[in-house]
């Protein structure tokens, strides 16, 4: 999975959780919580959807790493690489 | 024959818009069936039937906004022989508190065909607000959001297109936000005027609860993970068994204890406003089931599809502003309830354990309760029970 595909998935998922948000103005290094008025229930639903779409395991301890768009990209890109390595092993 | 009225679902409800009939004249109605879809300040609500019977006649057409208590339809009651009368009576109505607060809005300019309910719900709350303000018929809007969701831009585009069309008539804007604020204000003013509130607070050590939760969530699949909020809700429900008078509802001049515990959870709505629907039978659910219901309730509160009983049944309310970093809050009681429990955010604080100062996650729990029903002594026992129950999370 390319970074662009991951990014598109993250943005699509965010759009479903905060349908009124204008994601084109999303600051990549500011937390979703501060920009989108999302709460812990929204973030839980975000993680559940990413898990289902990208097939990555996201332990609860890693949730803080998914707080921003940049954080999501780094974490998910790494997780997807690890997964495909395992797949080829 | 029984009149089916526009219900008063919450103390701050003064009017509702009949959006869609889900039953046709002649159809049989069972208790719990959804008879109609009504739009209120709290969003789109599925209205349930309380008395079984047959829908005789529809009085109010879709698209009409009427005050609470208006006859919407007539039901021919069919009381099954031998059935207890209590099983088919509606819950005691909440006293209407907002007589003619503001003029009832005119029916929409386009009563036209209604969208199927599912399609109607695919509209962001902000867009829905805008639809009301601009008076655009949602059926004429093409949604460009994910899965065809109607977004703000779509509404604005449709409104602009309509403005360009000469045949359309302008419509008085309907400021839903202002109306909702007025309604909440009136309900809370009445609560403060009529209910002699007393307030208590205590700080609860959340170390055990949070450690246990982290351990649990490590084992649980992502969709089964728990938020700490469900531990708080369950602890409140169980503590009410020890101080049951806090789980009462006013019926006329009498506060009646409720055997069932239906905790109402305060949920903020996107674009403003608040709703506190019930998790039915809160004390009977295990944490996993409670979490599933909580998630479902939040989702439906924000996208439409709450059931009328969820709005009218809470026997107590739990509210939390922890998400925004607030450390403590004292709620205002929602009539006809007699208590509201508040939780702030969980903060790390120096705490004394066995003579040593250690960092501990703590939460401030508060109780606002009706002095006519309980006193500070009993309220204190309740808060202390909540704190004790949270020290044994595995038993919640």
**Digit-coded pLDDT (tens) for B244-254:** 999 999 999 99
Write out the residue range of the structural domain in which residue A31 sits: 3-88
Collect the ranges in chain B with pLDDT lower than 70.
Answer: 79-122, 124-126, 128-129, 132-133, 135, 137-140, 146-148, 161-176, 322
A60·B218 Cβ contact <8 A: yes
Number of domains in chain A: 1
The Cα A55–Cα B103 span in angstroms is 53
The answer to whether residue A29 neighbours chain B at the CB level (below 8 Å) is no
A to B CB pairs, distance under 8 Å: 53
A20 in contact with B, Cβ within 8 Å = yes
Residue B17 belongs to what H/E stretch?
Answer: strand B15-21
Q: Are B39 and B63 in contact (CB under 8 A)?
A: no
Q: How many CB atoms lie within 10 A of CB B52?
A: 19
Distance, CA of B327 to CA of B365 (rounded, Å): 9
Residue of B149, B151, B323 lying closest to A40 (CB–CB): B323
Return the closest-CA partner of residue B314 out of B326, B323, B301.
Answer: B301
In this prediction, residue B164 carries a pLDDT of 56
Q: How far is CA B55 from CA A36, A74, B85, B265, in A?
A: 44, 58, 20, 33
DSSP letter at B10 equals S
Quick: pLDDT tens for B67-125: 999 999 999 987 655 444 333 334 444 544 443 333 344 444 443 333 344 344 467 66
Q: How far apart are the C-alpha atoms of A55 and B41, rounded to whole Å?
A: 39
> Which chain B residues have a beta carbon less than 8 Å from that of A58?
222
How far is it, in rounded angstroms, from Cα B227 to Cα B98? 37
Domains and CATH numbers, chain B: 2-88 (2.40.50.100), 117-164 (4.10.320.10), 195-395 (3.30.559.10)
Chain A CB contacts of B147 under 8 Å are 16
Predicted TM-score (pTM) of the model is 0.77
- A56: domain CATH number is 1.10.1200.10
pLDDT in tens, B255-293: 999 999 999 999 988 777 789 999 999 999 999 999 999
* Record: contact A19-B323, CB cut-off 8 A: no
Phi, psi of B223 (to 5 degrees): -80, -10
Going by C-beta distance under 8 Å and a sequence separation of 6 or more, which residues neighbour residue B301?
A: B42, B43, B267, B269, B275, B277
Q: Quick check: A41 and B298 CB within 8 A?
A: yes
Helix H or strand E encompassing B199: strand B197-205
């Amino acid at each position: 999975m390319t970074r662009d595909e991951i990014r598109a998935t993250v943005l699509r998922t965010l759009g479903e959780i905060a349908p009124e948000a204008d994601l084109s103005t999303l600051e990549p290094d500011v937390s979703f919580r501060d920009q989108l008025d999302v709460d812990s229930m929204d973030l839980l639903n975000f993680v559940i959807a990413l898990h289902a779409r990208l097939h990555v395991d996201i332990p609860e301890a890693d949730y803080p790493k998914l707080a921003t768009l940049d954080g999501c990209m780094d974490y998910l890109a790494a997780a997807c690489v690890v997964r495909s390595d395992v797949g080829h092993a | 024959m029984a009149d089916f009225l526009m219900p008063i679902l919450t103390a701050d409800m003064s009017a509702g818009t009949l959006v869609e009939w889900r039953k046709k004249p002649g159809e049989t109605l069972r208790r719990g069936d959804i008879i109609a879809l009504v739009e209120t300040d709290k969003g789109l609500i599925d209205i349930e039937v309380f008395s079984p019977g047959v829908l005789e006649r529809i009085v109010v057409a879709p698209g009409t906004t009427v005050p609470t208590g208006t006859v919407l339809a007539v039901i021919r009651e069919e009381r099954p022989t031998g059935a207890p009368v209590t099983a088919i009576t509606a819950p005691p109505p909440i006293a209407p508190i907002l007589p003619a607060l503001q003029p009832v809005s005119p029916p929409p300019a386009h009563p036209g065909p209604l969208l199927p309910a599912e399609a109607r719900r695919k509209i962001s709350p902000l867009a829905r607000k805008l639809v009301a303000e601009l008076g655009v018929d949602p059926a004429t809007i093409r949604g460009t959001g994910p899965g065809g969701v109607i977004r703000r831009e779509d509404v604005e585009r449709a409104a602009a297109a309509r403005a360009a069309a000469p045949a359309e008539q302008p419509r008085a804007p309907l400021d839903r936000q202002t109306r909702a604020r007025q309604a909440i204000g009136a309900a809370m003013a009445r609560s403060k005027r009529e209910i002699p509130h007393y307030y208590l607070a205590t700080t609860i050590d959340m170390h055990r609860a949070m450690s246990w939760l982290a351990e649990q969530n490590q084992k649980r699949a992502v969709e089964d993970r728990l938020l700490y909020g469900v531990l708080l809700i369950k602890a409140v429900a169980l503590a009410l068994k020890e101080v049951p008078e806090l789980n009462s509802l006013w019926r006329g001049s009498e506060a009646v204890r409720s055997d069932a515990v239906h905790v109402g959870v305060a949920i903020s709505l996107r674009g403003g406003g608040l709703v506190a629907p019930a998790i039915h039978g809160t004390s009977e659910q295990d944490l996993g089931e409670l979490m599933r219901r909580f998630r479902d309730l939040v989702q439906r509160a924000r996208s439409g599809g709450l059931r009328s009983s969820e709005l009218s049944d809470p026997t107590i309310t739990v509210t939390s502003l922890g998400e925004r970093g607030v450390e403590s809050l004292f709620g205002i009681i929602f009539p006809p309830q007699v208590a509201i429990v508040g939780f702030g955010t969980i903060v790390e604080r120096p705490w004394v354990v066995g003579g040593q100062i250690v960092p501990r996650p703590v939460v401030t729990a508060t109780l606002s309760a009706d002095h006519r029903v309980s006193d500070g002594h009993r309220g204190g026992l309740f808060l202390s029970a909540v704190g004790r129950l949270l020290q044994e999370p595995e038993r919640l």
